[in-house]
Amino acid sequence: MKLLNYAFVYRRFLLVVFTVLVLLPLPLIIRSKEAECAYILFVIATFWITEALPLSITALLPGLMFPMFGIMSSTHVASAYFKDFHLLLIGVICLATSIEKWNLHKRIALRMVMMVGVNPAW
């Protein structure tokens, strides 16, 4: 019973380690770029479904693993990740997070209610 409690506490770490090790025979036995790409995709899909790693880290894993395995060059991977729209989206998410953290959205709403009133006569 104590072993189950220990496994439950470290379930995410164990899932990451065992996923990588269980799927490792795929690129080792077949030895092709397709098998290595399938290995990376299976590992990332498992991490994504189980949320063993945070989703933001899982989303960045192809940018690290594709050049490491020699499937794509780092310039091709970086060009897929950092387009103008993606940088705009990251900026908007950072702005929205900071507005929410400092309760600026509540301040703006209260200021609008103070200016307009609670019962506007439209």
**Amino acid at position 111, single letter:** R
**pLDDT at position 61, please?**
93
Q: 31-78: per-residue pLDDT in tens?
A: 999 999 999 999 999 999 999 999 889 988 999 999 999 999 999 998
**Amino acid at position 54, single letter:** P
Is residue 1 one of the residues assigned to a domain?
Answer: yes
Together in a domain, 34 and 89: no
Q: Is residue 120's pLDDT more than 80? A: no
**Cα distance between residue 55 and residue 60, in whole Å:** 9
Domain that holds residue 26: 1-72
Six-digit token string for 19: 């996923």
Together in a domain, 3 and 48: yes
Together in a domain, 61 and 5: yes
Together in a domain, 63 and 97: no
Is residue 78 one of the residues assigned to a domain?
Answer: no
- Burial status of residue 36 (CB atoms within 10 A of its CB: 0-12, 13-18, 19 or more): buried
- On whether the CB atoms of residues 40 and 58 are closer than 8 A, the answer is no
CB atoms within 10 A of CB 74: 12
Six-digit token string for 74: 């780092």
What mean pLDDT value characterizes the chain? 90
DSSP state of 119: S
